[in-house]
Structure 1
Amino acid sequence: MNKTVNINLGGMFFHIDEDAYQKLTRYFDAIKRSLSNSSGHDEIIKDIEMRVSELLNEKQKSDKHVVGLKDVDEVIAVMGQPEDYIIEDELKVSNSYSDNTNRRSKKLYRDKEKGMIGGVATGLGHYFGIDAVWIRIALLLLVFGGFGTGILAYIILWVVTPEAITTSEKLEMTGEPVNISNIEKKVREEFESVSGKIKNVDYDKYGNQIKTGASRLGNSFGDFIMTVFKVFAKFLGVILIITGIATLVCLLIAVFTLGSSNFIDVPWQSFIEAGNFTDYPIWSFGLLMFFAVGIPFFFLTLLGFKLLSPNMKSIGNIAKYTLLALWIIAIAILISIGIKQASEVAYEGKTVQKETINLLPTDTLYVKFRYNDYYTKSINDRENFKFVQDSANTELIYSNNVRLQILHTDEKLPFIQIEKMARGKSFQDAKKRAEKIKYSIKIEGNNLILDNYLLTEVTNKFRDQEVAIFLYLPEGTLFKPDSSLQDYDRSDDSFFNLHYSSDNYIYKVENSQIKCLNCPTDENEYNDVENDMDDDSSQTSVTINKNDTIIKTK
């Protein structure tokens, strides 16, 4: 039966049996003797202990695992034997760097020592083996050419990628084997770098600054700036947490709302389906938006907690990179859906129907819009589109996308041209959808009655269905528009200026424009239609008798 010892190695707690503990102790004593004359001796020993603790921690199968001789031997095999290492033999150290059989795979870290902001670009450069300048150029291109995605990608990588702090992490970042030789060499290089900077200091200059007290003033100002930044960081952390959590809650509600429409008959289900131009189910949009928008805000929330509590434990690299992969996949799918949505309404198709109005030269044409009281109770109701049911309980799309334009024609008889329009993924698809629009007019003698709505089946979906009515009138035609034309008239005002103050106004088509015969002077700027209006103070009254004959009185 072997005794077990509890040790704290590199900040980690281990259970180790007595034989393994004695061998590990001898191993560290040998390392200390081997490195007794090295620069930065204490730093090297600390990094070696941290690396050994990492290797032992990888072998932990449970919290009750006891480190044995086999575990220690395997760690020593990775780290190398101290007696085989000679500090002065630079050639051997160099060979250790070039030994591809011992080279470890690289790990992604942020290199803040050589980085400009957070060390993200420099870390990526180490990982992919390219100059960090190219990474920075790629991120700048994403900022200006990718609608700011470069900034978002940089922030996410800053949050998910740990910083290379220890010597072991710096070696892993460049793909060097983490053993005694490389740890010693790395620490010695950093120590010599710092020593070189100290040697190059202009001591006379800084001595004068110390004598004058400028150094203490600078330190005080630096402390003040750091305090301000810490307070700002805490405030920013609170803002990020509130914003992130609120956004995530809203996204969850949106996902539940969109998802419920597939299982529960909700009022907005038909409207969502009508706007879905793709074959993807509705709930998938909510899920994709949750990943595309929610994951960045989740990391922003974590950043907020990190600003408030710098010692907070990380969620782990597996979770970070999994979420990053999900975000990239969601963005790619949403882009493809957006392209498909746009292509489904890329073309406009239409059908044209023409009907002649048999109107005598002495008749007056009456024009008005009518509504269907089965779908609405007022002609003033205006709907871009809504879902209704007819008397046979068939579900339809109802829309008031109807417009009227009055134009001049050289033909002898007036005529009406009805154009039904819709959009689709091709001209043929758009035309087929336009043909399925249900719209009707009625010509009764000299009365033209127009529907103020269109109908189409729900299976056609809403694709900007519209009805355009063009009323062509020959010169000399008299017509009397109803006030219902007010919301649908899209005529050119320079040709036909409809007045709405009265339903009794009568209009006459002339060569260049349509003029009102009985409008007040303040409403009709073209009130010179009759040459017999001799006096400015006189006023002409125009009425129509039962035989549609115009009677004028002064």
Structure 2
Amino acid sequence: MKKTFTINISGTIFHIEEDAYEVLQKYLINLKTHFGNTEEGKEILSDIEARIAEIFTEKSENDRNVVTLAWVEEVVETMGTPEDFAEEEGEEEPVSEESKRKRRLYRDPDHRVLGGVCGGLGAYFNMDFVVLRIIFAILFFVTFPAAMIAYVILWIAVPKAITTAQRLEMRGQEATVKNIEKSIKEEVKEVQESYKKFKESDSYSKGKKSVAGAGDVLFNVLKVILKIFVVIIGVILILSAFFGILGLISSLIIGQSFVEGWPLVWGPEIHMPNFLNHFVEPDTVTFGMIAIGFLIGIPMLAMLYIGTKLVFRYKSNNAAIGLSMIGLWLVALVSLIVVSASQVGNYKSRSSISNSEILSCDSCSTLYLQLDEDKFDDYVEMDWEIDNFKVVIMNGEEVMLGLPTFDIEKAGTDNFSLLIKKTSRGRTRENAQESTEQIVYNFDLEDSTLTFDPYFFIKEGGKWRDQEVDITLKVPEGKTVYLGDEMVRIIHDIENVSNTWDGDMVGKYWEMMPDGLTMRESSN
């Protein structure tokens, strides 16, 4: 049994015997070498392969599906080889040899008005397709709608001649390699002549001049629009940079920008000197402000420079100024990084103070918890917030406020108790202890109502050192607490039996049971 291969010819899969494969491969390589790698040659080879696939398909329908050596030899004999049709240039075959093959009816796509039916019929009957169109037009008016129906049926039923081989069959010519090559070359020549005539025509010259003129007009219009757009961008840069520099200077010197909120203007909303005073030591504030001024001011000067160049279009090649500004900006950046790194040491150590207090409410079976009103709400609030901290201005003084956290745990005694833990950082443990002692937090117990302040604050002169206040209420087993709605602001992950989310715990009664805090319908 012979060895077989699977090949793909013009999109159709065939199984071919080994000896037939070798002959077919050699034949195709010979054709490829003859026609070369030009676009015209590739089209010829594509049509030849399509014709070979068509022959193999016809044979497969009547015989076995494996391509044999006899099939390949028959294809080579039918199609011909480059050696067979290598004739003198200009020599033509007799018409009788071209007409040996039986004609097949196709729709002609090269001579069509609608579907190419008349062109195909003209090629089949060897008639002028114009005459057939006239006959169809007359029949259309005489036999309406029979002629139209017949035309539509032919349009649907008759296939279109797509490949070169089908075009040759339509004219009764053998689909040999020579005829395929000749047909494609004639098509290419026809297209080239048509393009040449079009290029030499008056309409082409006029169209070319019109397109060139329209292109010049469009270019000039776009050029003017671009210039206007560049000027607008330049004006925006100039205004933004100018007022931004004014805002920066006023913010650094007097602590507030007088151009804040203007359109297209950079106006810092933070009072820079006062802002830094809450974080760094007083002796480094001035140095830091200078560094920040250069870091922000130099890019604004660059914006002002670019904006004036875009508007006034002057030339300036003084690279020394630009390099100096870049160097100065880098020095300011490095200086600010060094100063910031030195201040990071203020947060190196950590210290805490805990204060536990038994709540004098022996007869209380239920303790009502509520959050006091915000006493700082009516005071001016600074426009910055960090880690649940904010700053308000009260009686001309800036006060730092922090948000405490509240939790509930089971008590080891029969009394309610409150544990308040204050934590802070510092350069040393002693500094952290001093910062912790500057934290002030208040609460009030009246009868069975325990009221918490919504904020803790830092005494005058204190710095931000990541201060925290953690409040833990110890509830004896068998006793109940009621969480007021406002308590949601300070509640922090209270564990309970039902795993209820903190926001859903407010407005409810919670009893301390042996297995943990459990929700109750009422205080009874």
TM over 0.5: no
Structure with larger Rg: 2
Q: Provide TM-score, normalisation by structure 1.
A: 0.43
